[in-house]
Amino acid sequence: MKTWCALAFLWLAYFCHGTLSCPALCKCYLRRAEVVCNEVPMIEYPSEGLPKNTTLLTIQFTNITSISENHLNPTPLLEGLHLYSNHLQSLSSHLLRGVTRLNTLDLTGNKISDLPADVFSHAPLRNLVLKNNLLEKADAEWLPDNSNLTWLDLSGNRLTQIPAALLQKLPHLDSLDLANNLLEKISANSLDQLTKLERLNLQNNKLDTLDASILQSTQNLNYLFLSRNKLNKLPQNLFQELPQLKLLSLDDNQLSHIPTGLLDPLKSLDEEGLDLTANPWVCDGKTEYLWRWLQKNKEKVFLPDTIICASPPSLMGRSVMSLTESELN
């Protein structure tokens, strides 16, 4: 009888609480092979006690400062590792050597300023998020050649450039987020390998122009975010190879004119898919192309009546849409 009761207790513990073993300050859910740790007092990675069959591990809002290959070895079946908003400052080289099924690694909101070579090799990562850290440079040596990544998020760091050698290792990438950095230039051929790219976010950087050929290989691009930069001129053929583009944000830049024909290739823009607001438009003869395009494509433009003339003084504050042909000339 006692044996039967003991077995019944173990059975209840197993299915009600998800596991018989679970690290302190964590919750383990055996049925979905998931562990969640979100307690501030935690200062070390909870290797001991983690169920060996764990496939999804979330550690957030703790005081953990480092993580190594040895920490991950007890969970070889891991597929998703989410380390949000901790105090991680360093990752060991060959970090992922023991988790050969890991496809998602999210390190958002830590204090990582530098990373060793090969840190993201040895696992078939498809999603890598390094958002809101302290990185000042990105390095091609982080990743293996012909990486499986489809999603790379480096937004919210201190990057001044993105090496072409890094992007050349990402032929499967469909989303690249470089927003909220300090980028001043994107080199001419750096995106040539990204033929599957669908989403490119460059907003809130320091770009003042873009090379005419920068987007020539990204024909699958659907979303392009360029707002809050310092763009003051754009090449006439910049969007020539973007027939599938649905959304384009150019707001909050320094554009005074756009070249004739710039917007003509954008046949697939969504309703309100183009944002040109908050630019210092000079309303003169050179604005006639923009004026005519707006008249024909008003439904594709976000708040078209708020695209405002900054000069000349006689037209300052007027909506470009409201101008007459004689006023432009």
DSSP string across 107-132: -TT-------TTTT-SS--SEEE--S
Cβ(189)–Cβ(164) below 8 Å: yes
Q: What is the pLDDT of residue 21?
A: 79
Q: What is the pLDDT of residue 7?
A: 38
279, HSE (Cβ side, Cα atoms, 13 Å):
27
DSSP string, 197-244: --EEE--SS------TTTTTT-TT--EEE--SS------TTTTTT-TT
Question: At a CB cut-off of 8 Å and minimum separation 6, what does 28 contact?
Answer: 17, 18, 19, 21, 22, 34, 35, 50, 51, 54
For tokens 């690249």, name the residue: 176
1-114 CATH fold: 3.80.10
Query: What does the block give as tokens for 254?
Result: 């320094």
Q: What is the pLDDT of residue 112?
A: 97
Cβ(154)–Cβ(132) below 8 Å: no
Tallying the residues shown for the chain, one arrives at 329
pTM here?
A: 0.92
Q: What is the pLDDT of residue 51?
A: 94
- Give residue 94's region: left, alpha or beta (phi > 0; psi -120 to 50): left
Distance between CA atoms of 256 and 109, rounded to whole angstroms? 37
Q: What is the pLDDT of residue 11?
A: 40
Q: What is the pLDDT of residue 3?
A: 42
Distance between CA atoms of 88 and 262, rounded to whole angstroms? 45
Among candidates 209, 210, 205, 204, which has minimal Cα distance to 190? 210
Q: What is the pLDDT of residue 20?
A: 63
Residue-level pLDDT, tens digit, the chain, 329 residues: 444 444 343 344 444 444 467 998 999 998 999 999 998 899 999 988 999 999 999 999 999 999 999 999 999 999 999 999 999 998 999 999 999 999 999 999 999 999 999 999 999 999 999 999 999 999 999 999 999 999 999 999 999 999 999 999 999 999 999 999 999 999 999 999 999 999 999 999 999 999 999 999 999 999 999 999 999 999 999 999 999 999 999 999 999 999 999 999 999 999 999 999 999 999 999 999 999 999 999 999 999 999 999 999 999 999 999 999 888 87
